[in-house]
Amino acid sequence: MDHHATTPCDPRVVEKMLLFFSEHFGNPASITHAHGRKASQAVEDARIAVARFFRVLPPEIYFTAGATESNNIALNLVHAGEHFITTAIEHKSIIVLAERLRKRGSDVTLLSPDHEGVIQPEVLRAAMRKETRLVSIEAANGEIGTIQPLAELAAICHQHKVLFHTDMTQAAGKIAVDLTNVDMASFSAHKIYGPKGIGALFVRRGRRVEPVVIGGGQERGIHAGTVNVPGVVGFGAAIQLRAEEMGEEAVRLAELRDSLRNLILAEIDGVSINGPRELRLPGNLNVSFDRIEADSLILAMKRFSLSSGSACSSGERGPSRVLKAIGAGDAAAIGSIRFGLGKSNTAEQITMLVDDLKRVVRKLREISAA
């Protein structure tokens, strides 16, 4: 129940990928022979599938090694002396890049969310300056599930003629997303039942970006190195499946999530729900348990894979940065569990989960009271 960290690769995706390991093994840059052209065609077909899903043009999609690299390329646009705006609740990759920009002489503003994790449009508007070069705001949060008012945020940037990047890793393929007024967007395949180590950066036609990895000029210079053909094919296949299945799946996951929330509230004392009531990712729930340390609870919940926050931040010590940013006290932030429901989770598992939670929470509270 930790599908925000990653998802299992769909067997239908794996099947499509397998052919491109050994049978169609060509290098897509080897256009002098059929092996290369076969691989190149598969990469371009995947590009069309990704572009179609986001209703953009195929040349606007660049394949990368994942959302982390896409974020690196996007933020690479900010130079010393320029102003960069992002938020306090971004993924670790953006936070670390923002720190580096600051060290290298850029001015960085971290916008604060409201208590539900929403970046209010007027907060962004107030932060805009003459020297603002780029704004980067995630489409949805992987810890508390908040879905941002992206259209309004993007429109503000457009009005100010400031570039707008959005990390769509947690949103794309789970909820409908719209790239109107978005200049750049980061995606990752492994969050949507595709393979790990492959993602994409959308770059609107006419915008120029600077690569992080340079070399052989693959992906029109934006991601050098021989293209990960099985990965790209897997990404294309995964996104096509999302196009077909996402709508129904979102309804089912939201129902499962609501039943998990209602059962926890009904059966366990001293709990509070973190994050938004309404505009929330379908499979996401974040709960604080009073007088409980999340780490102990996660360890004791042997039948389930749970986490307290982003896997990429699990090395960070102390209470969750995201929960603190929305005003949770230290105790609530330390005792919080993030549930990320996905395709294989069932109603029976929700019942089992709540039974285990009830038992483990009671036991841990007895120990801490003793």
Q: Which residues bind ligand PMP (CB under 6 A)?
A: 66-68, 91, 93, 138, 142, 167, 169-170, 188, 199, 310-312
**What distance in Å separates the CA atoms of residue 279 and residue 150, rounded to the nearest whole number?**
12
Please say which residue, 40 or 336, places its beta carbon nearer to ligand PMP.
Answer: 336
- For 176, residues 6+ apart whose C-beta sits below 8 A from its C-beta are none
Please say which residue, 250 or 312, places its beta carbon nearer to ligand PMP.
Answer: 312
Are 136 and 75 spatial neighbours (Cβ–Cβ below 8 Å)? yes
Nearest Cα residue to 252 out of 169, 190, 343, 144: 343
Selected catalytic residue, list 312, 356, 358, 365: 312
In whole angstroms, the minimum distance from the beta carbon of 3 to ligand PMP comes to: 11
Q: Identify any residues that bridge with 85 across adjacent strands, giving them in sequence order.
A: 109, 135
In whole angstroms, the minimum distance from the beta carbon of 34 to ligand PMP comes to: 32
Distance (Å) of CA 185 to CA 50, 179, 331? 12, 8, 35
Please, how many CA atoms are within 13 Å of residue 297, restricted to the half-sphere of its CB?
28
Nearest Cα residue to 133 out of 95, 107, 159, 111: 107
Rg over CA atoms, the chain: 21
Q: Is 157 a catalytic residue?
A: no
> How many other C-beta atoms are found inside a 10 Å radius of the C-beta of residue 180?
10
Residue/partner pairs of 291-295 with CB below 8 Å, 24 or more apart: 291/331, 291/335, 291/364, 291/365, 291/368, 291/369, 292/335, 292/361, 292/364, 292/365, 292/368, 293/334, 293/335, 293/364, 294/334, 294/335, 294/336, 294/337
In whole angstroms, the minimum distance from the beta carbon of 312 to ligand PMP comes to: 5
Residue 15, token pair as written in the block: 């099947």
Please say which residue, 110 or 268, places its beta carbon nearer to ligand PMP.
Answer: 110
Residue 48, token pair as written in the block: 């069309």
In whole angstroms, the minimum distance from the beta carbon of 300 to ligand PMP comes to: 25
For the annotated catalytic residues, the residue numbers are 312
